[in-house]
């Protein structure tokens, strides 16, 4: 079952991380990337980047980053962004903790480009969205790419501030992408099993529907009381939020994509849960 109606083009924000993880794991299957070997010139592995256990800091903690976004400046160069973020220092030794890092997923995107020999937008299209027939889904790289988004805040935002990349598309296509993963269309069963390996991260979060939280490879992995597991990704930017989740314990599995204006990610998460059990 799929949910998420409407033809509006919407930003997928951090649900893009799930797409990146799928593409990286497809390259692992093809022998072009290694999942657990330390990366060249780095003390961490691709798996640790995908599960946020590499110890890298996040640029979301930089006041200057948020000030530049609020001022509608042009995005910083990747070199400047990387330098400013790493100046905060590593959070922990790789594999010894957990810290959500957009910088880590910027590196995942770079690894995909290097291993595939293609620009990220091209590889996402050829390896993922075109085979699934997701004609609405594109990687936004210019201000004009946000022009179709219905919320006013999109008019003054450059998607280049999302350094790992921001896919845009319809809500139904977001649900179809995640549903294809769980239907076995995208990855071989052993690879999907590795993708779903979950780190427990704690219990309930105030204002959100989860009763137990965890993270797998590019996938938030939670529990929702009697509804069982919820696996997918939430995302948010300056003007809207989303939640794209698969509920494997409901019948044969339900996949829901929910989007909402404003900053409260708990709203689309709760809507996704409500729709899934409806």
pLDDT, one tens digit per residue, over 42-68 is 999 999 999 999 999 999 999 999 999
Per-residue pLDDT of the chain (278 residues; tens, 9 = 90+): 344 458 999 999 999 999 999 999 999 999 999 999 999 999 999 999 999 999 999 999 999 999 999 999 999 999 999 999 999 999 999 999 999 999 999 999 999 999 999 999 999 999 999 999 999 999 999 999 999 999 999 988 999 999 999 999 999 999 999 999 999 999 999 999 999 999 999 999 999 999 999 999 999 999 998 789 999 999 999 999 999 999 999 988 999 999 999 999 999 999 999 999 88
Q: Widest CA span of the chain, in angstroms? A: 50
Residue 155 pLDDT: 87
Fold annotation for 2-277: Beta-lactamase (3.40.710)
């Amino acid at each position: 079952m799929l949910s998420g109606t409407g033809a509006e083009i919407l930003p997928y924000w951090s649900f893009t991380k799930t797409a990146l993880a799928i593409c990286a794991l497809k390259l692992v299957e093809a022998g072009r990337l290694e999942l657990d070997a330390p990366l060249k010139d780095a003390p961490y592995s691709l798996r640790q980047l995908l599960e946020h256990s590499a110890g890298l800091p996040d640029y979301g903690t930089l006041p200057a980053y948020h000030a530049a976004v609020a001022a509608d400046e042009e995005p910083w160069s990747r070199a400047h962004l990387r330098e400013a973020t790493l100046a905060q220092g590593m959070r922990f030794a790789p594999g010894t903790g957990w810290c959500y890092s957009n910088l880590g997923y910027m590196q995942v995107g770079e690894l995909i480009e290097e291993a595939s020999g293609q620009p990220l937008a091209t590889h996402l299209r050829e390896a993922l969205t075109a085979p699934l027939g997701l004609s609405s889904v594109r990687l936004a790289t210019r201000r004009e790419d946000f022009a179709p988004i219905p919320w006013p805040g999109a008019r003054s935002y450059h998607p280049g501030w999302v350094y790992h990349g921001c896919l845009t598309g319809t809500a139904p296509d977001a649900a179809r992408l995640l549903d294809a993963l769980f239907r076995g269309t995208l990855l071989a069963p052993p690879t999907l099993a590795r993708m779903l390996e979950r780190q427990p991260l704690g219990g309930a979060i105030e204002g959100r529907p989860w009763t137990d939280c965890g993270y797998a490879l590019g996938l938030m992995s939670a529990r929702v009381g009697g509804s069982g597991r919820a696996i997918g990704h939430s995302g948010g930017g300056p003007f809207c939020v989303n939640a794209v989740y698969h509920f494997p314990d409901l019948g044969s599995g339900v996949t829901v994509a929910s989007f909402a204006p404003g900053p409260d990610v708990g709203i689309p998460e709760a809507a996704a849960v409500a729709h899934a059990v409806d």
